[in-house]
Structure 1
Amino acid sequence: MITSYNVKGVGDTLIIILSNSEGKEVEAIRKGDVACVTLKETGDIVGWNIFSASHKITNLVGDGQVQLSPSQITELNLAVKEAGFDAEFTADNSPKFVVGFVKECEKHQDSDHLNITKIIVDNEEELQIVCGAPNIAQGMKVVVAKVGAMMPDGMLIWPGELRGVKSDGMVCSARELGLENAPAKKGILELPETAKVGKAFNFNITINE
């Protein structure tokens, strides 16, 4: 579940995205200030819009992806129920941008620039991520956008495939992370050896030009 709130860009609307509907026709059923978004072909629920969200959920702030606290989830569930929908949400406060350790890095057999990596993230989870950055290498510590992350430019991270190989996440560059003083040249952000694997990434770090 991806939750996004951006008053300046969207208005006082909490956007909840449950699955990837890109390229598919959707429709919305609205009751009061709550809209349920479904796939037109199957009726599967892919998202929700909660309008006038700050009047229903206390301390709701953000300029992109947000993580709702348990008390905010309770308020969200109440708003949806009062609108007449039968749905219930649960809190997911696991970090979506984490420090990862590149355990393995091998050339993609069907590409001259892609690599297949195995990266250790939080809770000792191992992710397979296909990466095209020229500087990716075994032994590096990097920033991983996990499935369910929203990039600063609004791009959503879903499970996928690149050239027939499963890829669950994205290894990020400083520019993709929207960091100040991000270098123009291509390449992922290499973190110092002191970075702790599995920790949430700190977006306030300073990049030396």
Structure 2
Amino acid sequence: MLIASYNKAQIGDILIVMLHEDAPSQTVEKKDSIVEISDSSNGTKLGYNFLGVGEKLGLTEAGQVKLSNEQVNLLNGMLQKAGFEAILEIDETPKFVVGLVEEMTEHPDSDHLHITKTNIGSETLQIVCGAPNIAQNQLVVVARVGAMMPNGEVIWPGKLRGVESDGMICSARELHLPNAPKKRGILVLPAGKFHQGQPFSID
């Protein structure tokens, strides 16, 4: 997994690369213009901060950065030159996809959460959803693990009230779609226009 973001106006000329979610205890090591963040308990590399690379990578806009193979190779070269391991791999799997809610059950420890089995074409995900309009056989937009939402939130594997949830079923408002309704509820897609497994563009 590789998630990259850049916002020069807010934090300066720094490319943030995330590989795993944060750990309770972290080790930070800086070499040259690169900061490596690791899980102190097991050494897992959580991510990197690349300082002063905006011009070199041609970064101009703020937000998530879809890195090309060429850009990833350049970053790996920088890691090696600084004395770090070159472990970055491009991730081209679509993170926002159309899913079909195949099953839905009540959460055992909540009066409003539901446990869904949502088929996204390549696999079926267990996703806990609290939207009041969630129902079986709906086509919905799924933010997979590794997705960055328009507000900057990253979707990681998690648990809701003790039940594992691998992704998020999204509302139009969470996707920052034009004319999104203000009331709570997920976005339900028309069956004739969309099909499960289809990438969903939020750009």
Aligned to 1:161, what secondary structure does the other structure show? Answer: strand
Matching residue of 2:21: 20
1:50 corresponds to which letter in structure 2? F
1:122-201 alignment runs, 5 A limit: 122-123=121-122, 125-193=123-191, 194-201=193-200
- Decide whether the 8 Å contact of 2:77 with 2:86 is kept in 1: no
- List gaps (5 residues or longer) in structure 2: none
Matching residue of 2:94: 95
For residue 122 of structure 1, report the CA deviation from its aligned partner. Answer: 4.1
For residue 187 of structure 1, report the CA deviation from its aligned partner. Answer: 0.4
Give, in whole Å, the separation in 1 of the partners of 2:144 and 2:63: 16
- List gaps (5 residues or longer) in structure 1: 205-209
| Deviation >6 Å, runs of 4+ | none
Matching residue of 2:68: 69
- Decide whether the 8 Å contact of 1:34 with 1:51 is kept in 2: yes
Give, in whole Å, the separation in 1 of the partners of 2:115 and 2:41: 35
- Decide whether the 8 Å contact of 2:14 with 2:49 is kept in 1: yes
Q: What is the percentage of aligned positions where both structures have the same residue? A: 49
Matching residue of 1:113: 112
Q: 1:4 to 1:130 in 2, by over 3 A?
A: same
- Decide whether the 8 Å contact of 1:56 with 1:76 is kept in 2: no
The count of corresponding residues between Structure 1 and Structure 2 is 201
Give, in whole Å, the separation in 2 of the partners of 1:42 and 1:202: 36
Give, in whole Å, the separation in 1 of the partners of 2:145 and 2:131: 19
- Decide whether the 8 Å contact of 1:28 with 1:35 is kept in 2: yes
Give, in whole Å, the separation in 2 of the partners of 1:15 and 1:62: 14
1:185 corresponds to which letter in structure 2? K
Superposed CA RMSD in Å reads 1.8
Give, in whole Å, the separation in 2 of the partners of 1:93 and 1:61: 21
For residue 43 of structure 1, report the CA deviation from its aligned partner. Answer: 4.1
